[in-house]
Amino acid sequence: MANATIEKFGWPATLVRDYRHWVVLLRPAQPTLGSLVLAAKSDATAFGDLPAEAHAELKTVTAEIETALKLAVDYRKLNYLMLMMVDPHVHFHVIPRHEGEREHDGLSITDAGWPGPPALGQAVALSDGQVAAMAGWLKGLMANGRSAAALAKGSPAQEQIRNGAPNPVRDAGPDAIRDEDGKDWDVVDESSDESFPASDPPNYSRPKKN
């Protein structure tokens, strides 16, 4: 059962991801592209009154939000605002911050407050169609964000995920993945990677060390 604050932010139409103790919602008024609401399912009206399990789950929830929004809009900073002045139940406004504008599917929004506090009063109100399209886009990024994080930045496969492709395909080889040092990539890794997703790995014997 959704509490009144969750319903106020357009649930279920705005739902992006559902967790045990939290929901991630698209913010119907967008101060920057990809702005979200992270709302507790509890009826608690004080952050400290949430159960310990809800606090613990924030580790997973925030990591997945940050991965997805980085892919979506390449933010410079991410603001978590816990205001609760009008809507009483525990929730955060999650606002990606950046210089200039970001665009998706014909919708372009400028971060009017950068580099200061977010300009909430200049938020762009979304139509029902825009809510449906953007919620669906971000839902896909939340689901595939971990896979995208393993890909090389700007790679074709990462762009496929960003644009909502249902079955993204990456090129073989180390240039297509995010490998921080690349020291362990050898000819066996290359052959195995090129054969994926074949059921049988290539027949290759590593040379014996002297």
183: in domain: no
Dist CA 127 CA 123 (whole Å): 13
Dist CA 52 CA 59 (whole Å): 12
65: in domain: yes
186: in domain: no
- More confident position, 66 or 198: 66
CATH number of the structural domain spanning residue 162: 3.30.428.10
Count Cα neighbours of 128 within 13 Å in the Cβ-side half-sphere. 2
Average pLDDT of the residues in 140-164:
62
Examine the pLDDT at 206 and tell me if it is beyond 70: no
Tell me the pLDDT tens digit for each residue of 16-41.
Answer: 999 999 999 999 999 999 999 999 99
| Percent of the chain with pLDDT strictly greater than 90 | 67
Average pLDDT of the residues in 79-98:
97
Examine the pLDDT at 189 and tell me if it is beyond 90: no
Dist CA 154 CA 146 (whole Å): 15
190: in domain: no
107: in domain: yes
DSSP 143-171: HHHHHHHTBPTT-HHHHHHHTT-SS----
CA 159 to chain centre: 14
Closest CA to 128 of 35, 28, 33: 28
202: in domain: no
- Which residue segment(s) compose the domain that 35 sits in? 4-168
Examine the pLDDT at 177 and tell me if it is beyond 70: no
Look at the chain and count its residues: 210
CA 112 to chain centre: 22
13: in domain: yes
Closest CA to 123 of 107, 135, 137: 107
- Number of independent structural domains in the chain: 1
152: in domain: yes
